[in-house]
Structures are given as structure tokens and as C-alpha cells.
A and B are shown apart, each in its own frame.
Chain A
């Protein structure tokens, strides 16, 4: 999935088909939960601002990994001076006191001006935990703040928290009169559950001087596959012949093996006692 697939995640750092810039050069991150490792609730976490295609450490780790649940992300940024490339800004985000991780494809426009409107909706511990400068980390802290304290949420719990967080962002932005297209494709995951969105806030509304303005631009993409082609590499564990894989574009050369997630949708997936459950619901926030 990381290196070998025809359209692997690492390949998408320099040659992605469905993102607007085709390159995502601002770093790589992953969290991987493996039930066989010590303290399985704590994921193996790896982040680097170097190009993953040249990263021999990552390649070595990938060969040994056999996770139950995995979130990987190649980061793309705008080519602007104000962008900060640092490990603190790399996805997936996961704070030490939670099992929940998040990665985000997209951009919450007007975030620098309006972010403090979100603080009122965050729990203190999560607001204080923010280290980086990205909109994505603030969204992460906002979603964590909608979850019950101290529990590992199931997929429905994750989905509810994401809906609430998106509704808060919409309300805060609208109250400030800012309604500009903001793609918010989110993946929120735990060791056994996942909720993901294909969603854009204020889709179809633009400001003229937006450097990312692309009126004809398509809705940010999201695809999924229920496949055994990646699970086969995992050592043939009992009950996990199939894997649920969600990606911004098909990782294999054959698009026919992938479903496109409908626009304005929430995908949930649960892996419980060898049983994989996947659902797609409308997302109108």
C-alpha cells in the first residue's frame, strides 16, 4: 500500500492523479495499530518532512508492519511563504491521551482569521494540546472535544463527533460572513473503527483572489475498496483476508476495483471479532 501498489501512497507524494497540484511534497506521516505489539492501544507513529520515496527508514518499517488499522498521509501545501513545513504539522494527528487519530485532505479557508472562534467549542485539554499551525490540527482538537472523555469511541461515535464539529465550523464561519469553498475530507480512526467524510463546506463559493481558486475544479475525491490484495501481504492472519482501504484515489491501476465515495457522504467502518462492517450515509451538515 505504501510503496508497491501501482498508485501507492508514496507515489502520490510526487505523482497524484486526483489532487489539484499533483504533488504532495510537505512530508509523510502514519499511525499503525498492531495488536501484537506491546501496548497495542498505542500506535506506531512515524512522521518525516523528507520525501518518503527516498526514506529508507520508512521502507524498512513498512516491510515489517502488519497492522490491524493504519492511517497514512502525504501532505501537500500551497506554494506560499506562509506555509510551515514541520513535523508538528504532519498528519495523522494523534495526541498521547487519546486513541483517536485524524488526517485531512483539503483546506479550511479563512482559518488564520477565524480559528479563535473555534476555541469556545473545544475542551481545554485539547485546545492546549495544539502544537502546530494547521487548520487540520484545529479540526482534530475540535472533533476530540465532541467525544466523551476517556472512552474509545466506536464508528458511530466518531461519525457523530465529526458531524458536530462540521456544524460548529459552518456556524462560526457563517456568523463571520465567510462562506468560501473548503474541502474537508477527513479520516478519523481508532484501532478498530473509522469515520471518513467526502465533504466540502460552502462548495461552489469562491473569492476572486484565492490562490487555489479553481471554479471548474472537481469535488475533492475519495475512494474505497474491499480487497484482499493488501491483506494478502499481511501474513495470512485468521479472519482478516479482506481489508477496507480508503484513499483519495485508487491505489491500484484498476479503477474497477474501487468504489468512489459519493460527494456529501460519511463512511464508517468497524472491525470487530473478525467482522468488517462498512456503511455509507448522506452527510448534509
Chain B
């Protein structure tokens, strides 16, 4: 990687859509990088240290599979971000990124993001929201590609569950909910604010919460039990993710304004925190403390979902009758 000059975030692809405060926070943190054809941006398994936004050229991401073959995961061009999972938290690269031709990128390091997060500003929330959108779009593309690998044809599905509204005791709100990973950093006042807006529902085992292609009316955070996200087509299905306590489901369509890209089936009886689309929109706008907390938790969940969906078995070995 040949280092280049600092970049103005207000004119850089991907970052230019962020707000003024984010631009101010990112100033001095973006770096330009250049790669020759065939040059490796990162190796599979390397520690993830940041993300590249492609300004010019094409990058192919591929993965070495357990059987020794190589699988192309994506080809990205100008304006697209690669490696954004490496911006937040520890992690390793799930594939190798290689420049197809002459490539120029804007690089943002995880260290820079940590620095940004250490100052009180909305910049980090804006960045997280942008990454959520990228993650949701990535999941949707992945789901569509997986559906294409399954044989055509419709299969009759069981009817959708009718969630029944249940009470979650005050003790559960005080002692159990804060232990869930989604609410790990939430304060009592923030949880109380969410409690006023969310609905707690229960769905029986082996029922469908939503189907692929349905328009989302709500999304859910699992309190107890488990949802399995699946893509059904013809007689086959692929499990794309397992959503247990403290994980969220059903948001891809809401974030992207589209239909559900997977189905969700309760493999165990489940108690869920239901957020109607308008409640989700309020929580996701990043304008107050509760919303910023929500965006942070939601973004963590999106990263987990993307990692789950990129596991090799999902594409190679998870075809199930």
C-alpha cells in the first residue's frame, strides 16, 4: 500500500453523505492509499485494522475454503466500502482482498475510529448508521445470492405466528434485560425509555414470525428463546443465522425500505421485544441519547449478522432438506 495525502471527508466517497459534525470529526483521520494490480489489500485471517473506500479501480474479495478451493465473495468498485467490520472491535479478515487493476482508496483505521469515539460528538453515531446501512445492504445481497443457489419453486409454508402480547416483570427489566448483549451498555433511564416504546410478545415453537418477501411491520430483539433466519426456496432451505437472546431480527427490510430478505422461524418458544417500524425509525435517528445508544447496539448486532452470513458453511454446506 502506497500512502497518500490526507483526505477531506466532505468530498470523499461514502463519507460525504455524513453530516457536518461527522465531517469535522473525521477531518485528518482519512488517508489515501494506492495499490497496483494484483496487490493484496489484506490477507485472509489477518487482524482487521480498518476499512477502505474505493475511489477508483476494482477490488476482488475471495476466500480460501476448507477444501482448498477459492471462492469469490464480492467484487467492489468506486464508492464502495470494504472491511467496515474492522472499524469497530477486534476481528480477523474473513477473506483476502486483492486489487484487480490500479486501485485508489480512502482508508479509515480502527485506531482513528476509537479516537473519534472518545470525544463526545454525534460523528461516531453517523458513522455507525452508515455502516448499519452498508451491513444491511450486504446481508440483503448475500441473501439474494443464496436464494439463487436453491432450486426454483414455491413450497407451502406454515401460517405466520400471531404473537401474543405478554408482560415482562419489573424484576426481569431490572435484572435480566440488562444482561442481554444488546443492552450491555444501557443505563436504567435509557432502558426505561425503551420500555415505554417496545411491546413484549411471545411466539410458539416451530412457527414462522415472518416470511421472505413480506413487508416488515416491525423488528424484534430476542429476550428468550431463538429465531432461526432461513432462506426457503423450493424443497430446500439455508439457515443464514441463529438469533438468540440479545440479538435482533427483521431489520434489514426496515433499514433498506424493502421486504424481508429471509424468513424467521422460532426453533424454540420465543419472547421478543417488538419494535414497530415507526418506533425503530425514532430510535434509529441518532438525535438523542437513547437513540445513540440504540444505534450503537444495533450496529453491533448488524456486524454479528454479517459475520454469521459470511461463514463458509452458509454458502457451501448448509443446504438442508
Contacts and interface: CB of A to CB of B under 8 A. Distances in A.
A272 interface: no
Interface stretch (B14-22, B139-147, B242-250): B242-250
B321 A281 contact: yes
Nearest to A214: B179
5 contacts: A204-B226, A219-B244, A256-B63, A262-B317, A282-B239
B267 A203 contact: yes
Interface residues of B, number: 39
Contacts of B173: none
Given A203-B244, A264-B267, A208 B317 contact: no
Q: Taking chain A's interface residues, is the majority helix, strand, or loop, or is none over half, making it mixed?
A: loop
Contact residue range for chain A? 20 to 34
B270 interface: yes
A254 B313 contact: no
Contact of A216 (B181, B269, B270): B181
A202 interface: yes
Nearest to A261: B313
A284 to B, nearest CB: 6
B312 A216 contact: no
Contact of B312 (A205, A260, A281): A260
Interface in B39-74: 44-45, 63-67
Given A216-B246, A260-B312, A264-B239, A204 B317 contact: no
A262 B315 CA distance: 11
B218 interface: no
B36 interface: no
Interface of A: 179, 202-206, 208, 215-216, 219, 225-227, 254-265, 280-282, 284
B201 to A, nearest CB: 15
B150 interface: no
A205 B224 CA distance: 6
Contacts of B113: none
B316 A259 contact: yes
B236 to A, nearest CB: 10
B89 to A, nearest CB: 14
Nearest to A228: B68
Contacts of A284: 206, 267
A264 B67 contact: no
B321 to A, nearest CB: 6
Contacts of B206: 284
A226 B67 contact: yes
A174 to B, nearest CB: 10
Given A219-B242, A255-B45, A257-B66, A205 B311 contact: no
Given A208-B175, A259-B316, A264 B242 contact: yes
Given A203-B268, A216-B179, A256-B44, A262 B64 contact: no
B228 A264 contact: yes
Interface string B296-308: 0000000000000
A185 B313 CA distance: 18
Contacts of B45: 254-256
Given A260-B313, A262-B318, A264-B239, A204 B222 contact: yes
